[in-house]
Amino acid sequence: MISWLLGSKLPDWDYLRDLFQDVENVAVYVSQDNVVEIVKMSDIDPIHSQVTILIHPKNLERMGIGYLKLREYVAFPVMDLHELRAMITRRGWRAIEYYDSWEFQGGWVLYDCVGCEDEQREQLGVSLRDPKASLKRIEIWRKFRRTGEGETL
């Protein structure tokens, strides 16, 4: 169905949103030259959906995430185990961790959020190499939960 997308330059976010409007969960991974390398889609039960479209984070050393849509979650990769574990102490946050033998290889942090496209897009804009990435990610999460002047959930 979408094999024509592989090997092409990454289309803009709005185009991909329209293209995948009927798909509940989808991820588009790109090369360092912004060429689409992998497209993963899933419409299975939400409890397993994230596992079917999120690739091993070690691959993100040579690829990027061009588009990510999870119906019930926001997700982003984390390469430091201590940061990952600190983040999942928040209510509704969880992680998928990847190991080689006993060595942590990277992981994905996910938190509950239904239809949170703008928030997902901002989370993907945070660089894996940014030393303040975890603080920026929490600030993005807080920003989208503001309920009034000076008040947050």
Q: Which residues contact 104 (CB under 8 A, 6 or more apart)?
A: 81, 97, 98
pLDDT of residue 150: 46
Mean pLDDT computed over every residue of the chain = 89
Checking if the pLDDT of 153 tops 60, the result is no
Quote the CA–CA distance of 40 and 26 in Å, as a whole number. 6
What residue ranges do the domains of the chain occupy? 6-147
pLDDT of residue 4: 85
Residue 53 pLDDT class (50, 70, 90 cuts): very high
Q: How far apart are the first and last CA of the chain?
A: 42
- Tell me the longest C-alpha to C-alpha distance in the chain: 49
* Segment 28-33 mean pLDDT: 96
Q: Which residue has the tokens 């998928």?
A: 96
pLDDT of residue 89: 95
* Segment 50-56 mean pLDDT: 83
Task: Give the closest residue to 123 by CA, choosing from 98, 106, 113.
Answer: 113
pLDDT of residue 149: 44
Checking if the pLDDT of 148 tops 50, the result is no
For residue range 71-93, list pLDDT tens digits in order.
889 999 999 999 999 999 999 99
